Chains A and B, each alone.
Chain A
Amino acid sequence: MSSQQIELILSRQLADSLSIPVFLVDTNGTLLFYNEPAEEILGMRYEETGSMPPEEWSTKFQPQSNDGKILDPSELPLVQTLKEKTPSHGEFWIKSMNGEMLKISVTSYPIIGRPSRFLGAVALFWKSSNT
């Protein structure tokens, strides 16, 4: 087993220390980690799910627009960040693992280490107050 790059290790540690929900993915979009506040919103525990490929996490929560249309994964901020290597933001609905529909607001940013090494992305998300 190899260790992750230090930028990802420290990002995970920061996420683990925060009380806002955080997702951490690698360059392929594989979900490497999500923290306890994220577990609360998603209704599942990281220890139980472990890492997840992008096809799985991007559809698992059935992201939907305001009019109930299922969003294509490419429309999600985190997927856009991985593609463009730029920050992204968006609001949409998800179905949490306990079946509840939640409107969430997501801001994502790329992890670009020294010197210009693209290593993954982070998404911060929270329940939207603008429902």
Chain B
Amino acid sequence: MKIRIWGCRGSLPSPGPEKNIFGGNTSCVQITHNKTCIILDGGSGIQRLGIGIDQSITKIDILLTHLHIDHIMGLGFFQPFYNPNITINIWGPSASKEGLQQRLRRYFSPPIFPVQLKELPSKPNIIEINSSQFEIDDFKITSEYVCHPGPTVGYRLQLGDTVFTYIPDHEPALGASDYPNNPEWTSGYSLAKDADLLIHDAQYKTSEYTSRVGWGHSSFADAVKFAELTKVKKMLLFHHDPLHTDETLKELFAEIYRDQHQKLELELAQEGNIYFLT
């Protein structure tokens, strides 16, 4: 499978010359394999994805982790929604009461957005998941609720023996008093276990995290601990804080890379980067 990062910024699009390397667009990751096109989250990065999308693609599956604005704000600007010849499935987590379609309508309606969901020419199918297992073409997908405010899932995508896990917004340290020592009681463990590639939240410096406990995000250090616990082969640190410049991110990365125990394969997620998993 081919994985491309279209947006890896957290919380708010934050373009600018000081962020040219890692990018300012919010969460959006594309997976392609033969004719399959899966898009993880519809942050502002999905706009560029839509403009340049392979015209031979006739079906797109968008998997939303949750409905915080930075993960859906690009949907209205995704060109394939305006093409009636493309089948689009939007998958997303169930809430306690209100349906996914109703919750998406809050974004696809004035005054937030002028075009209503029902007016989109592609007539997207809305599919609710929770802690579920389902298939999209050759992919076996597991979704599971994870520790983040509001209904939020992470995804484990398996193609043959290859596993890619995506948990962009996640605070596993909040739900475990002895983090990271107890896999059974660590949010997201089953999703990430032994993955070939993990994309995981790493929004804060350790000093920033102490005043933001419960906001649903991880420090660099906690993200690395999670990767070590789950024994992933490689991790991309994702959901960069909108206030962190390229220089800040590089400094944080150098620090965490120096201090980590297991010498994991680590990278800062970077807009435009492409990975191949076989």
Contact = CB atoms under 8 A, between A and B. Distances in A.
B130 to A, nearest CB: 6
A13 B175 CA distance: 6
B184 A1 contact: yes
22 contacts: A1-B183, A1-B189, A2-B190, A3-B183, A3-B184, A3-B186, A3-B187, A4-B185, A5-B131, A6-B144, A7-B145, A9-B176, A9-B186, A9-B187, A12-B185, A17-B177, A114-B95, A114-B96, A115-B95, A115-B96, A115-B130, A117-B130
A113 B188 contact: no
Interface in A11-39: 12-13, 16-17
Contacts of B183: 1, 3
Interface in B144-184: 144-147, 151, 174-177, 183-184
Contacts of A114: 93-96, 130, 145, 151
Given A9-B147, A114-B151, A2 B184 contact: yes
Contacts of B94: 114-115
A101 to B, nearest CB: 32
Given A3-B186, A115-B96, 18 more contacts: A1-B184, A2-B189, A2-B190, A3-B183, A3-B184, A4-B184, A5-B145, A6-B145, A6-B146, A7-B145, A9-B185, A10-B175, A12-B175, A16-B177, A17-B177, A114-B93, A114-B151, A115-B128
Interface centre among A1, A6, A12 (most CB of B within 10 A): A6
A18 to B, nearest CB: 12
Interface residues of B, number: 24
A17 B128 CA distance: 33
Interface residues of A, number: 17
A85 to B, nearest CB: 15
Interface centre among B95, B130, B146, B185 (most CB of A within 10 A): B185
Contact of B145 (A1, A16, A113): A113
Contacts of A9: 147, 175-176, 185-187
A13 B75 CA distance: 36
Interface in B232-251: none
A10 B148 CA distance: 11
Nearest to A113: B145
Contacts of B190: 2-3
B214 to A, nearest CB: 11
Contact of A3 (B93, B95, B128, B188): B188
Contact of A117 (B95, B131, B175): B131
A114 B96 CA distance: 5
Contacts of A115: 94-96, 128, 130
Contacts of B188: 3
Nearest to B189: A3
A7 B174 CA distance: 13
